[in-house]
């Protein structure tokens, strides 16, 4: 599918690479045009070649691209970063220190992907190409990267993944949140579900929500959805759902319930939020990491 490109804010472009065949989510990257242009969340290796074509057709001088910044190294966000680094001579790939090592030596990442997505995951998600060490920029929390007329601040945002970063953009007062502020489905655009895939840290996830809210962004650029300006409402909602999930799952574990019963309680709660056919899928996918975390920390529930 050809990449659809939209101007969504000043010198800020959304690159829609279509629906990911594996995750059934929209594969969205963002391009920040400036003296030192940036590509955020390039997506999977399968989307990378199309992304290059789409950007060329838009007239972007790819040789000028200075940074590629995956918010985290899950394959639907950063899987294609190595392919892009291989095909473009200049950009540095900016990564959290806990993610950087797995992108220069991808053996653990690939082994994990085979376990989760199957032996032939490359057919749907593309190759995971290692990034040469000298092309990686290891980020620090609060670091500011100047691009020209704008600067972006890197905010460590653990919870969804220990190696997750968010980016605050001075030109738009916008926050590129990756998966740190929940997942917005097309059919439920006002209900951000926490994405609690293992390994997940629900306590860090809520702390990150507060940390990102304190930045007072005017717009949130969601990774699988697009920009939204109802910032307080959406951040309030994701925190409310996180705390409710926490409470339901901890109580279930403390009373010795199995995963199926806990899932049912989550589903009962979620049914009160939205009446959608795919609700069971989101409710189930979003809690596997919660359950594992609280089973592992049972004495500290």
Residues lying near Zn ion in the complex (CB under 5 A) are found at 74, 179
- CA dist., res. 142 & res. 34, Å (int): 21
Smallest distance from Zn ion to CB 72, Å: 6
Q: Residue 179 or residue 246: which is nearer to Zn ion going by CB?
A: 179
Distance of CA 255 to the CA centre of its chain: 33
In the bound complex, which residue of the shown chain has the CB atom lying closest to Zn ion? 74
CB nearer to Zn ion: give 74 or 92. 74
Closest to Zn ion by CB, 15 vs 161, is: 161
Q: How far is the CB of 214 from Zn ion (least distance, A)?
A: 22
Q: Closest CB to Zn ion among 33 and 179?
A: 179
- Least distance between Zn ion and beta carbon 170 (Å): 25
CB of 178 to Zn ion, least distance (A): 7
Please state, in angstroms and rounded to a whole number, the distance separating the CA atoms of residues 220 and 182. Answer: 11
Torsion angle of C-alpha atoms 48, 179, 18, 3, degrees rounded to 10: -50
Closest to Zn ion by CB, 83 vs 200, is: 200
Rounded to a whole number of angstroms, the minimum distance from the CB of residue 148 to Zn ion is 29
């Amino acid at each position: 599918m050809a990449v659809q490109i939209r101007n969504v804010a000043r010198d800020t472009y959304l690159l829609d690479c279509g629906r990911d065949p594996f995750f059934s989510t929209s594969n969205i990257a963002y391009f920040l045009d400036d003296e030192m242009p940036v590509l955020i969340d390039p997506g999977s290796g399968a989307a990378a070649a199309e992304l290059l074509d789409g950007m060329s057709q838009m007239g972007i001088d790819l040789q000028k691209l200075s940074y590629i910044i995956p918010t985290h190294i899950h394959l639907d966000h950063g899987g294609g970063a190595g392919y892009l680094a291989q095909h473009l001579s200049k950009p540095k790939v900016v990564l959290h220190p806990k993610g950087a090592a797995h992108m220069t030596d991808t053996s653990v990442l690939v082994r994990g992907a085979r376990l989760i997505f199957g032996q032939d995951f490359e057919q749907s998600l593309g190759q995971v190409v290692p990034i040469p060490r000298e092309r990686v920029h290891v980020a620090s929390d609060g670091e500011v990267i100047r691009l020209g007329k704008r600067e972006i601040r890197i905010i460590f945002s653990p919870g969804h993944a220990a190696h997750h970063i968010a980016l605050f953009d001075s030109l738009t007062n916008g926050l590129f949140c990756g998966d740190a502020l929940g997942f917005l489905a097309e059919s439920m655009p006002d209900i951000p579900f926490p994405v609690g895939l293992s390994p997940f840290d629900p306590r860090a996830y809520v702390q990150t929500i507060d940390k990102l809210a304190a930045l007072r962004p005017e717009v949130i650029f969601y990774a699988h959805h697009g920009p939204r300006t109802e910032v307080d409402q959406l951040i309030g909602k994701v925190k409310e759902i996180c705390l409710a999930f926490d409470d339901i799952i901890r109580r279930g574990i403390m009373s010795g319930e199995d995963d199926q019963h806990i899932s049912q309680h989550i589903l009962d709660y979620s049914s009160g939020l939205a009446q959608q056919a795919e609700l069971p899928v989101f409710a189930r996918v979003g809690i596997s990491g919660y359950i594992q975390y609280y089973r592992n920390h049972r004495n500290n529930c």
